[in-house]
Amino acid sequence: MFTYRLLRPLASPQFVRLSASNGYQTRRHFTALSRLKAPLIVERTAGLRYAHNKGGETGGSALSFMFLRWTKNVWSNMFGKYLLITNVLGSGILMVVGDVIAQEYEYRRGLRKQDRFDTDRMYRMFVAGALQGPLHHYVYNWMDRIMPARTFQNIIKKIMIDQLFMSPACILIFFYSVCLLERQTLEATNKELISKFPYVYMLDWMTWPAAQYVNFRYLDTKYRVTFVNICTAVYNVLMSYMKHDFGMHLPLEGELMDTSQGSGEMAIDKSDSKSAETSAR
């Protein structure tokens, strides 16, 4: 019986009972358990490591895990701590993307006589887009703060604010910043804006209400500017095309030119008539 009690810990983690004169003494036999199961654990671990290293899966899994973790950290910082920087840089970069597409189209249609890509023009478009980033950032945060519920009434209010205030402001920022970087005079900029604003604003009403409904209905606040910038990359293809006058004839431009020419001719006629009167006198 004494031998049976000593051998029991080798089979299962039980208590060992040792006889004594004054009673029983108990203790756990951890040494026997570790000697029994440690070789099996080491053998299984080594086998798994050998199998993974043999197939090259351990290194690939570790790299994939590190890449996913790094991507998650970058994403959380972009749309969390550095959201304003993300919105500003995203607005400028995606404005350039739309301009590059427009330049490629112009080059293939033979509308451009210079190089394939105009880097100065790309820089101007980046500045014009980046200047709109803070406006989008703060206004969208403000609208979601005062109208947090995604009801149909709030969505319509946000769309109307965007179309009646944000859209004209963005168009003004676009034209004045690009014309300023092109070193145009204020008078020339005003004439260009007056001639092209109705068409750009009409295009804006045809494009943005549906896109902004999706934006205000389904997306979180931190993704609103990024969604607008992605849509703007497509929208800016036509904006850049209209701004740089490649193959697009707008009726209001002709009217303005005719009126300016007519006023100039009238001024010339008046001066001629005055000179004729003075000579006659």
Q: What is the pLDDT of residue 56?
A: 52
Kindly indicate the confidence band of residue 102, based on its pLDDT and cuts at 50, 70 and 90: confident
| pLDDT tens-digit map of 119-136 | 998 999 999 999 999 999
Q: What is the pLDDT of residue 57?
A: 55
Q: What is the pLDDT of residue 31?
A: 52
Q: Which two tokens stand for residue 196?
A: 């092209």
**Going by C-beta distance under 8 Å and a sequence separation of 6 or more, which residues neighbour residue 164?**
none
Residue 24 pLDDT greater than 80, yes or no: no
**Going by C-beta distance under 8 Å and a sequence separation of 6 or more, which residues neighbour residue 5?**
16, 17, 18
The reported pTM is: 0.63
- Report the 10 Å Cβ neighbour count for 15: 12
| pLDDT tens-digit map of 229-268 | 899 888 877 766 666 654 445 455 455 445 444 444 444 4
**Going by C-beta distance under 8 Å and a sequence separation of 6 or more, which residues neighbour residue 25?**
17, 18
Give the CA radius of gyration of the chain.
37
DSSP 42-62: HHHHHHHHHHHHHHTHHHHHH
Mean pLDDT along residues 166-178: 93
Residue 118 pLDDT greater than 50, yes or no: yes
- Scored b (16 or more CB within 10 A) or e, 241-267 reads bbbbeeeeeeeebeeeeeeeeeeeeee
The torsion angles phi and psi of 24, rounded to 5 degrees, stand at: -110, 145
Q: What is the pLDDT of residue 237?
A: 74
Mean pLDDT along residues 38-65: 56
